[in-house]
């Protein structure tokens, strides 16, 4: 194992520990860009992007991916580490466990943890919800559940798109599984995460302008349409199966 490979493996292990999510590397794809964020120290780490910056071209451009991952996501991680610096026990937890019980977070850092921890968790999921050559449609149990809940895949896509376009200002739109194991579509503002509302996010689209402005400027509908071309439905299906188990 080369030093670079060793560093990458260490970063992946740390990120998986901190986020509790299954981080994947695309072994057949180019090594992603510079990670983790330089200068960031603390219990939470920036997971490497699981594909090259240009992997989602032409739907999502390489420069947007680079800035989004290396600057925006890195900043959430750095600021989360700053927020928990005086409370080491928080840094020993997975970020989703912290977010699941925000009331247990000391009030003086609760808002910071909600925003920065949410940003870290949401983006860690977001990278994995997309892949080179993605798109298409869900299959198997997830497809059946979507069709049962929404009537058809087309109606689901329409409803999800409406939620993404209807989110005023910065935020996300999600496909979630609620506490009753039912599918739902809902937006969240800022970096709020469904996991803080006892819901499991299966699929989410970042509709902060930083996610699309370089390529699409104010044309959020084009970005949302492009997102459907890069969804990794296998990953979404895996999350659905875990949410039901």
By the 10 Å C-beta count (0-12 exposed, 13-18 middle, 19+ buried), 79 is classed as buried
For Fe ion, the nearest residue by Cβ is 206
Helix (H) or strand (E) holding 92: none
Distance CA 204, CA 193 (A): 10
Q: What are the DSSP E strand ranges found in the chain? A: 171-177, 183-189, 200-206
Q: What residues from 201 to 230 belong to the interface with Fe ion (CB under 5 A)? A: 206, 208, 211
Q: With respect to Fe ion, which residue has the nearer C-beta, 53 or 240?
A: 53
| Residue 21: how many other CB atoms lie within 10 Å | 18
Least distance from Fe ion to the Cβ atom of residue 242, Å? 24
Which range of residues in 23-31, 130-138, 150-158, 198-206 is near Fe ion by CB under 5 A? 198-206
Least distance from Fe ion to the Cβ atom of residue 212, Å? 10
Q: Please name the residues in contact with 97: beta carbons below 8 A apart, sequence gap of 6 or more.
A: 20
Query: Residues 113-132 vs Fe ion: string with x where CB under 5 A?
Result: --------------------
Q: With respect to Fe ion, which residue has the nearer C-beta, 138 or 194?
A: 194
Q: With respect to Fe ion, which residue has the nearer C-beta, 55 or 211?
A: 211
Given the rule CB under 5 A, which residues bind Fe ion?
A: 206, 208, 211
């Amino acid at each position: 194992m080369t030093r670079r490979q060793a560093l990458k493996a260490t970063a992946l292990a740390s990120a998986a520990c901190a986020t509790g999510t299954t981080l994947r590397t695309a072994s057949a794809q180019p090594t992603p860009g510079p990670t983790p964020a330089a200068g960031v120290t603390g219990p939470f780490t920036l997971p490497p992007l699981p594909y090259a910056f240009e992997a989602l071209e032409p739907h999502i451009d390489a420069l947007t991916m680079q800035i989004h991952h290396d600057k925006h996501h890195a900043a959430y991680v750095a600021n989360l580490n700053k927020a928990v610096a005086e409370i080491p026990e928080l840094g020993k937890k997975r970020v989703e466990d912290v977010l699941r019980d925000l009331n247990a977070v000391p009030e003086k850092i609760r808002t910071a943890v909600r925003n920065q921890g949410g940003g870290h968790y949401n983006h860690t999921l977001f990278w994995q919800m997309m892949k080179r050559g993605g798109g298409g449609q869900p299959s198997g149990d997830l497809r059946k559940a979507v069709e049962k809940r929404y009537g058809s895949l087309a109606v689901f896509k329409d409803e999800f798109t409406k939620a993404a376009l209807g989110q005023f200002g910065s935020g996300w739109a999600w496909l979630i599984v609620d506490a009753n194991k039912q599918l739902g579509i809902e937006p969240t503002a800022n970096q709020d995460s469904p996991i803080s509302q006892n819901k499991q996010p299966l699929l989410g689209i970042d509709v902060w302008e930083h996610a699309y402005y370089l390529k699409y400027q104010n044309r959020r509908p084009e970005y949302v349409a492009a997102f459907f071309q890069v969804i990794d439905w296998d990953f979404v299906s895996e999350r659905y199966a875990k949410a039901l188990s």
